[in-house]
Amino acid sequence: MQLLALALYHRDGRPTPRVLRFRPGALNILTGESETGKSEILDIVDYCLGRRQPSLPDEPIDQTVGWYALLVTFGDTRMVLARPRPTGASTIHAMIRTGDDTLDIPRADELAPNANVATIRSQLSARLGIEDFRFQPPTGAARSPFDVSIAQAALLCFQNQNEIADKKALFHRQTENGIGQALKDTLPYFLGAAGPEQALRRYELGDALREQRAAQRKFDEATRRQAGADERSTSLVRLAEREGLLSDVPSILDVPLTQSLLDRALAAAPTFVESSDTSDRRRTLTEERRALRERWQQLNDALALVERWQEQGQAFTGELHLQLDRLTTLGLLGPEQPDRTATVCPLCTSTLEHPDPSAADLTELTEHLAQELAHAETVQPVRQEHRRSLETELEAVTESLRHNGAALKELTASDERMRNLQEQHLRIAHVQGRIAQELAAAHTLSADDLGRLRNNLTLIQERVETLQEQIDEDDVTSETERRLTDIAALMTPWAQRLDLGQAAVADEVRISLSQLNVVLRRPTGRLPLNRIGSAKNWIGYHLVAHLALHTYLRRHDRPVPAFLMLDQPTQAFFPEKIHDAATVEDADWATVTRYFELLRDVAQLNEGALQIIVCDHANLGESWFQDALIDNWRPRDGQRNALIPMDWLDPA
């Protein structure tokens, strides 16, 4: 797959898109001043190939562009891959059109979504020849499996201006989360050292290992159960004997007798329930006790009332007797003074200011009081009799309460015995449950079953060993290193040709799969790229690594897009914020020329199988360089030339 054209469509629907065309199978150079949009070309191509989260700048592209379209070729077949400008962080919409070698960039009014990102990746992967398989990480790895597709292959085709000068990372987006590991996982496949067969065997090995662990657990558990079955059965017989389920158990037990005793213990299932008579008796006694306590309280209240009456009567009659005795003692009421005048004092015969009552009045009053006293004395025996009757009944009620309490206490003791019986029943039920479990296990696990589990484990172990041997025979690591050695055979002379640091004394310059970086092998030891100074060397080693890698991929017809996009490979030779490299006279133009000559020669070496696209500030005067130019984004006729046309930025 190579690129034929890139088109940008204005958001207002203008019929004429901005089109940048590429030459397949050759060196393509886009030169120009800074801030003309050269670096965005790589990001747009990456986006059109199905990247979900593009890194496109906000201005001026986001203000003007509504659609992006990429025209690619697969020999006699062409495809248009178009995507609308991303809304927010990403977009999944896309348009795909397929045709013969006459297919070209569509018109603006033809753009309409008819696919999505997954469709782009699927169709590109199929046309590239990427086999449909899911990469399975090694057993025990924490990462998840994934489908191998154009998403991983495209990582080998781009080098933006920050990546090409990175001394710690060699590949596109390598430093992003998960991308470095994905490169390590898939580079052996893209090199031809591994394929779907190895991935399938690794997946089957993971399944087989899980089955082996499960079979081992079942076999170990069955073995433990069989080894302890006799001891557990004997213990259960003794336990059943203690709980009363068995009697007359011999001191020596064999296996048949043990099984028979366990069956007997399981069949003996006594039940203990409280009878309805006991429940009714408790309810009757409780109601009787409540009635007796109410009667006892009533009798106590009646006795208290009689006691108060008795006390009040005794106080009243006692006072009457006292007063009558006093009057009689003084002789004031005697018969010897019947004519005594009420106005004369009987003691001193003096005239009274207030006359005393007459003797007749006093006598009448005294007689009335004597009658009341006699009546009160006749009521007293009746009251005493009523009191004795109440006391007798109270004693009877008290005795009934005592008998009632004794009966309830007996029932409570009976409840305690019932609770003990219920607890014993629970213990017996627990023992019988253990016996039933043991008998069921004994019935389900026979000698034949144990043999079957052993045979199953043996078969799975043999399968694991076979798969492991096949994976070991594949020896993906050794095959990958052998192919990287072939790539190193190209890298080493090219690094020496560019006169890169330490290349002259290196026995070999190669790509390290474990480090995903360039490593030099010297007589004194290995030297990684991050220990070599100068951005010139970092860029140079990136160039030779990717050129050698793609040359190997093309020679072996591997399923990777046949283009390499490089952004600013000569940045190390110019000031950091250069506007136009063509105006810098004191740059190391000889070295810059050597870099581009290597790009030219590698493109010619691949004889049309590899397309190299370079976006750079440099503009060499050599005829071959000028022939390789696809555009020069420097002012022409007083007009600024860039990715976004000037009239697109005009508000009018």
Question: How confident is the model over 491-544, as pLDDT tens digits?
Answer: 999 999 999 999 999 999 999 999 999 999 999 999 999 999 999 999 999 999
Q: Is 522 a member of any domain?
A: yes
293-311 burial, b at 16+ Cβ within 10 Å, e below that, comes to eeebeebeebbeebeeeee
Q: Which of 355, 353, 318, 360 is nearest to 339 (CA)?
A: 360
Task: Name the band, by pLDDT with cuts 50, 70 and 90, for residue 336.
Answer: very low
Of 506, 537, 554, which residue sits at a domain end? 554
Question: How confident is the model over 187-229, as pLDDT tens digits?
Answer: 999 999 887 776 667 767 777 888 899 999 988 887 777 665 6
**Whether residue 499 is found in the same domain as residue 571:** no
**Whether residue 509 is found in the same domain as residue 584:** no
**Whether residue 291 is found in the same domain as residue 409:** yes
165 close to 510: Cβ distance less than 8 angstroms: no
Q: Is 17 a member of any domain?
A: yes
Of 554, 576, 595, which residue sits at a domain end? 554
Q: Is 501 a member of any domain?
A: yes
| Length of the chain, in residues | 652
Q: Is 462 a member of any domain?
A: no
Single pTM value for the model: 0.64
The percent of residues in the chain predicted with pLDDT above 90, rounded, is 42
Question: How confident is the model over 146-199, as pLDDT tens digits?
Answer: 899 999 999 999 999 999 999 999 999 999 999 999 999 999 999 998 877 766
32 close to 635: Cβ distance less than 8 angstroms: no
**Whether residue 404 is found in the same domain as residue 496:** no
**Whether residue 285 is found in the same domain as residue 305:** yes
Q: Is 195 a member of any domain?
A: no
**Whether residue 418 is found in the same domain as residue 527:** no
Question: How confident is the model over 384-408, as pLDDT tens digits?
Answer: 787 788 888 888 888 888 888 888 7
Q: Is 169 a member of any domain?
A: no
**Whether residue 153 is found in the same domain as residue 21:** yes
**Whether residue 550 is found in the same domain as residue 568:** no
Q: How far apart are CA 170 and CA 188, in angstroms?
A: 16
Of 534, 554, 574, which residue sits at a domain end? 554
- Which strand (E) or helix (H) includes residue 63? helix 61-64
Overall domain count for the chain: 3
Q: How many CA atoms lie within 13 A of 497 on its CB side?
A: 17
Domain that holds residue 318: 276-430
**Whether residue 305 is found in the same domain as residue 425:** yes
Q: Is 179 a member of any domain?
A: no
Q: How many CA atoms lie within 13 A of 478 on its CB side?
A: 5
